[in-house]
């Protein structure tokens, strides 16, 4: 890696001045950790030993801040945000923490003096893959911004023993390998063995008299213990360090001694295994709900542990639960933790002997709910039968919440029985199911979508009836991503350039300051810097792809990138149809003058999602044919980057020229990859969907390649009776691309392999790929023309970076703080 590409060389050069850490101290601390914690010495340390020693050295520096922060928050009795999320996709810690501590440079120098290969050490880290995609990564960006903005906050989630699977590509197919991320230890977490809470499952309930009141007792048939593991989350350029608390499931210590003593050894062990299964593995589905019993157990498990922990904190500080909703605001990251609404009621009523009304008052003033998707298959419901069997007491509470809620609805909309059925927490139509989005909505004082367009659709579609009732509760908070991870760590060259242009690194905490770049968009000298930075990043990626994937790509070509989960609504196959059309054009007219392109794909498919897996196979099959065809492979290359995760993604954002955001309009709630690319200077080709709409507004229509039907147009097309095969008959090139796939050209003559995909497109095309094909191709032709004019391209690229301030997660978090959470910064001082 060249000098320019060192994370940290761009910012915080006053590193050790800020932290008071000298190189000598770091060296000594590193050697001590190697010696005392790992039992090693420099000469025999493996790269992994070096990584562990480095990680401990950094963590020690963080603990100081963490404790000071905790003290400060405690003393100020500050209102605290609790971010409940089933996923936190953090990415590697080491580089990020070095940056946020401001000791990247001095550590690098210390490493060099000890003869260590710094890059190799960073490379050793196995990232905690505790999330599927956008939703989990958003939670991680928000933790970063909360700490940076000095907001008292706790992230609560699950410490999955196996995170998202590792993806291998074998013969073009996705193969899943389990992610054993804890195998070599996790230096970033602190186990809190004494911090544990019981969580019940199954059994039945009984009523009893208590002081003249009827109360309920839940007699479970399984009790699981949640144990806390804490990870400090540092802010950037501040002393605040917040807490991420993840729960791990265990059998209570005294597990079934009776069974042991009576000789039922297997029975006793089974109970232990059953308990520990709960936090074993992350469900690898991004959008569709799994509907599995274990998933409901996971949800209840972490919601209950987190609330019990908050109650502990509140009672410790105030001695009463009365002001609970003043002390805490709980953000529900999608419906995965929505059961918390009923669980808080249970804890207040059954365990803390409150009456229903005051308990409900606290509950509905505590929660706020973020919706992340409109896809029907992703809206969570649980059958009443399963729910009642697993959580009998919670079912009673859900019924009671519903009864009281529907009484209100009845008063408001007299006689509107259809509306009541639509709004009920119970869907009576499909085998009686509990609608988790309704539970979250009824139990929250604020509900928000994740981009302007999405929030409008939430109000007009899935939660329309609720919006009619409580319009004041509905908000929009457009997503954002952290520039610490996605510019400084990923793209140090760009970070350095931005710091030079802005005069200091203030843009890192105030991305709107990048507006000062605008005048440079026409500066020839600056264009030269810009081009040099981009080319260097593209060379790095080309090297990386050669080493990791074994393909050669030419850094001079246009890098056209689509990385995200593989899903039909995201329409990777539309991209493939474009590639095939380009291929056919070149075959028909070998000397045709086209802008040479390298197409890069990446992303995981849910293991049970066959069509998505077939799309991966198609991409790899098309790649195989094109990359081996000497007639075209100087102008066309296709690469599938295996195992797309945070660590690998960091190589891509700096190198991309074109960012593909081509979902069917109305389907992508926000998207956040679109932001990561644009803030690194890639131009977007995209539909009017999710946050694309706002990105285009910010960067300017002239700096964005918009295409495709709008959501309303598509809806109309569908209502009129959409007949994709007819589109095909009119569009020769489209027909021909589909025929080519069907002919077996990409599948060694096998005409069956891709038949399901081709037929799906021809006869159903649920995501209207064919409807947008021609518009997409036309726009891609314009992209090629624009690429031919580097001056113009660079200008657009610079303006994209200059105008992406809105999409810093710092802005999103400020929006949440002001509009929803009503929390204020509490600076921690060292």
Q: Is 690 in the site for ligand GLG (CB under 6 A)?
A: yes
- DSSP-derived 3-state class of residue 610: helix
Tell me whether residue 583 is exposed, middle or buried, using C-beta atoms within 10 angstroms of its C-beta: 0 to 12, 13 to 18, 19 or more: buried
**CA–CA distances in Å: residue 551 to residues 544, 600, 614, 627:** 9, 11, 22, 9
- List the catalytic residue out of 672, 709, 803, 806: 672
How far is 482 from 137, CA to CA, in rounded Å? Answer: 10
- DSSP-derived 3-state class of residue 760: helix
- Give me the residue label for tokens 């045709």: 592
Chain centre distance of CA 471: 28
In degrees and rounded to multiples of 5, residue 433 shows phi and psi of -130, 150
Closest separation in Å from C-beta 224 to ligand GLG:
27
Q: Is 649 in the site for ligand GLG (CB under 6 A)?
A: no
- The smaller minimum CB distance to ligand GLG, of residues 333 and 760, is found at 333
Q: Is 657 in the site for ligand GLG (CB under 6 A)?
A: no
At 359, which helix (H) or strand (E)? Answer: helix 356-366
| Per-residue mark of binding to ligand GLG, 325-364 (x: CB under 6 A) | ----------------------------------------
- Give me the residue label for tokens 């604020």: 446
User: Can you tell me which of 285, 479, 598, 645 binds ligand GLG, judged by CB under 6 A?
Assistant: 479
Q: Is 282 in the site for ligand GLG (CB under 6 A)?
A: no
- List the catalytic residue out of 96, 297, 570, 573: 570
Closest separation in Å from C-beta 147 to ligand GLG:
19
How far is 9 from 492, CA to CA, in rounded Å? Answer: 7
Token pair, residue 49, equals 């030993």
Q: Is 12 in the site for ligand GLG (CB under 6 A)?
A: no
Q: Is 671 in the site for ligand GLG (CB under 6 A)?
A: yes
- The smaller minimum CB distance to ligand GLG, of residues 134 and 492, is found at 134
**CA–CA distances in Å: residue 622 to residues 171, 588, 639, 661, 747:** 12, 17, 10, 21, 9
- List the catalytic residue out of 435, 567, 617, 676: 676
- Of the listed pieces 169-177, 583-591, 667-675, 748-756, which binds ligand GLG according to CB under 6 A? 667-675
Q: Is 455 in the site for ligand GLG (CB under 6 A)?
A: no
How far is 589 from 630, CA to CA, in rounded Å? Answer: 14
Closest separation in Å from C-beta 686 to ligand GLG:
13
- DSSP-derived 3-state class of residue 60: helix
- The smaller minimum CB distance to ligand GLG, of residues 87 and 765, is found at 87
Q: Which residue is nearest to ligand GLG (CB)?
A: 134
- The smaller minimum CB distance to ligand GLG, of residues 360 and 807, is found at 807
Residue among 142, 177, 57 nearest 645 (CA): 177
How far is 242 from 231, CA to CA, in rounded Å? Answer: 8
User: Can you tell me which of 108, 372, 527, 696 binds ligand GLG, judged by CB under 6 A?
Assistant: 372
Q: Is 133 in the site for ligand GLG (CB under 6 A)?
A: yes
Q: Is 810 in the site for ligand GLG (CB under 6 A)?
A: no
Token pair, residue 177, equals 């390998």
* Interacting positions 373-412 with ligand GLG (CB under 6 A): 373
How far is 186 from 127, CA to CA, in rounded Å? Answer: 10
- Of the listed pieces 130-138, 342-350, 456-464, 580-588, which binds ligand GLG according to CB under 6 A? 130-138
How far is 218 from 391, CA to CA, in rounded Å? Answer: 9
| Per-residue mark of binding to ligand GLG, 423-452 (x: CB under 6 A) | ---------------------------x--
Q: Is 161 in the site for ligand GLG (CB under 6 A)?
A: no
Number of residues lying near ligand GLG (CB under 6 A): 16
Q: Is 286 in the site for ligand GLG (CB under 6 A)?
A: yes
- Of the listed pieces 19-27, 131-139, 291-299, 819-827, which binds ligand GLG according to CB under 6 A? 131-139
How far is 666 from 34, CA to CA, in rounded Å? Answer: 53
Closest separation in Å from C-beta 209 to ligand GLG:
47
**Per DSSP, what are the bridge partners of residue 241?**
234
Token pair, residue 65, equals 């801040």
- Of the listed pieces 18-26, 53-61, 134-142, 361-369, which binds ligand GLG according to CB under 6 A? 134-142
Residue among 142, 703, 55, 801 nearest 493 (CA): 801
- The smaller minimum CB distance to ligand GLG, of residues 170 and 377, is found at 377
Interhelix angle 104-113/47-76, rounded to 10 degrees, is 150
Provide the b/e sequence for 443-452 (b: ≥16 CB within 10 Å): bbbbbbbbbb
- DSSP-derived 3-state class of residue 438: helix
Q: Is 694 in the site for ligand GLG (CB under 6 A)?
A: no
DSSP class of residue 707? -
- The smaller minimum CB distance to ligand GLG, of residues 227 and 454, is found at 454
Residue 493 is a catalytic residue: no
- Of the listed pieces 206-214, 429-437, 470-478, 668-676, which binds ligand GLG according to CB under 6 A? 668-676
Token pair, residue 815, equals 């929006």
Q: Is 668 in the site for ligand GLG (CB under 6 A)?
A: yes
Residue 751 is a catalytic residue: no
- DSSP-derived 3-state class of residue 7: coil
Closest separation in Å from C-beta 725 to ligand GLG:
29
- The smaller minimum CB distance to ligand GLG, of residues 372 and 435, is found at 372
Residue 564 is a catalytic residue: yes
Active-site positions? 372, 564-565, 570, 672, 676
> Where along the sequence are the contacts to ligand GLG (CB under 6 A)?
133-135, 138, 286-287, 372-373, 450, 479, 668-672, 690
């Amino acid at each position: 890696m060249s000098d320019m590409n060192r994370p940290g060389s761009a910012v915080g050069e006053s590193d050790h001045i800020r932290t008071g850490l000298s190189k000598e101290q770091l060296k000594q601390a590193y050697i001590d950790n190697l010696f005392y914690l790992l039992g090693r010495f420099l000469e025999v340390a493996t790269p992994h030993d070096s990584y562990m020693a480095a990680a401990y050295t950094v963590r020690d520096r963080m603990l100081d801040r963490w404790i000071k922060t905790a003290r400060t928050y405690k003393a100020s009795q500050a209102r605290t945000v609790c971010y409940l999320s089933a996923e936190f996709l953090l990415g590697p810690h080491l580089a990020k923490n070095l940056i946020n501590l401001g000791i990247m440079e001095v550590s690098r120098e210390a490493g060099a003096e000890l003869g260590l290969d710094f890059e190799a050490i960073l490379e050793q880290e196995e990232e905690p893959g505790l999330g599927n995609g956008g939703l989990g990564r958003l939670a991680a960006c928000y933790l970063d911004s909360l700490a940076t903005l000095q907001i008292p906050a706790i992230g609560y989630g699950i410490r999955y023993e196996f995170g998202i699977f590792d993806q291998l590509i074998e013969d073009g197919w996705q193969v899943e390998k389990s992610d054993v991320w804890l195998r070599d230890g996790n230096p970033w977490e602190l186990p809190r063995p004494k911090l544990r809470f019981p969580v019940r499952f199954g059994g039945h309930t009984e009523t009893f008299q208590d002081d003249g009141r009827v109360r309920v007792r839940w007699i479970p048939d399984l009790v699981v213990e949640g144990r806390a593991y804490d990870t400090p989350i540092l802010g950037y350029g501040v002393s605040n360090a917040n807490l991420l608390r993840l729960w791990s499931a265990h059998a209570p210590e005294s597990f079934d001694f009776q069974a042991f003593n009576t000789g039922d050894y297997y029975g006793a062990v089974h109970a232990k295994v059953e308990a520990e299964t709960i936090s074993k593995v992350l469900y690898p589905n991004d959008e569709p709900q799994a509907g599995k019993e274990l998933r409901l157990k996971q949800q209840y498990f972490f919601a209950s542990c987190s609330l019990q922990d908050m109650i502990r904190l509140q009672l410790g500080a105030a001695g009463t639960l009365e002001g609970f909703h003043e002390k805490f605001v709980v953000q529900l990251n999608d419906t995965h933790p929505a059961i918390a609404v009923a669980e808080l009621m249970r804890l207040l009523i059954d365990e803390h002997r409150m009456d229903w009304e005051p308990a409900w008052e606290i509950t509905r003033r505590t929660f706020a709910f973020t919706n992340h998707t409109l896809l029907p298959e992703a809206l969570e419901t649980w059958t009443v039968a399963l729910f009642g069997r697993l959580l009998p007491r919670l079912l009673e509470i859900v019924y009671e919440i519903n009864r009281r809620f529907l009484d209100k609805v009845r008063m408001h909309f007299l006689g509107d029985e259809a509306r009541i059925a639509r709004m009920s927490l119970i869907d009576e139509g499909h085998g009686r199911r509990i609608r988790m989005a309704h539970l979250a909505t009824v139990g929250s004082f604020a509900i928000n979508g994740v981009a302007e367009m999405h929030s409008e659709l939430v109000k007009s579609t899935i939660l329309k009836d609720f919006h009619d009732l409580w319009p004041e509760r509905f908000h929009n908070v457009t997503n954002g991503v952290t520039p610490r991870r996605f510019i400084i760590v990923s793209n140090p060259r760009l970070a350095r350039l931005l710091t030079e242009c802005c005069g200091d690194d203030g843009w890192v905490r105030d991305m709107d300051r990048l507006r000062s770049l605008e005048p440079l968009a026409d500066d020839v000298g600056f264009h030269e810097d810009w081009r040099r930075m981009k080319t260097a990043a593209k060379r790095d990626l080309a090297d990386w792809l050669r080493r990791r994937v074994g393909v050669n790509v030419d850094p001079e070509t246009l890098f056209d990138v689509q990385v995200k989960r593989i899903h039909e609504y995201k329409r990777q196959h539309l991209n493939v149809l474009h590639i095939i059309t380009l291929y056919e054009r070149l075959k028909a007219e070998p000397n045709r003058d086209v802008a040479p392109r390298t197409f890069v794909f990446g992303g995981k498919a849910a293991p049970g999602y066959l069509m998505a897996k077939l799309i991966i196979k198609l991409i790899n099959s098309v790649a195989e044919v094109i990359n081996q065809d000497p007639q075209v492979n100087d102008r066309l290359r296709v690469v599938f980057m295996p195992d797309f995760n945070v660590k690998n993604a960091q190589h891509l954002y700096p190198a991309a020229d074109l960012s593909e955001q081509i979902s069917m309009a109305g389907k992508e709630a926000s998207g956040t990859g679109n932001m990561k690319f644009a803030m690194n200077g890639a131009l977007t080709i995209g539909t009017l969907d999710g946050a694309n709409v706002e990105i285009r507004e910010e960067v300017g229509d002239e700096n964005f390649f918009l295409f495709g039907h709008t959501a309303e147009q598509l809806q109309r097309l569908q209502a009129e009776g959409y007949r994709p095969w007819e589109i095909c008959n009119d569009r020769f090139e489209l027909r021909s691309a589909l025929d080519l796939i069907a002919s077996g050209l990409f599948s060694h003559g096998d005409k069956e392999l891709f038949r399901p995909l081709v037929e799906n497109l021809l006869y159903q095309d649920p995501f209207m790929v064919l409807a947008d094909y021609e518009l997409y191709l036309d726009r891609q032709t314009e992209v090629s023309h624009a690429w031919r004019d580097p001056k113009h391209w660079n200008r657009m690229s610079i303006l994209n970076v200059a105008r992406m301030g809105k999409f810093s997660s710092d802005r999103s978090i400020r929006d949440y703080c002001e509009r929803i959470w009503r929390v204020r910064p509490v600076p921690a001082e060292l």
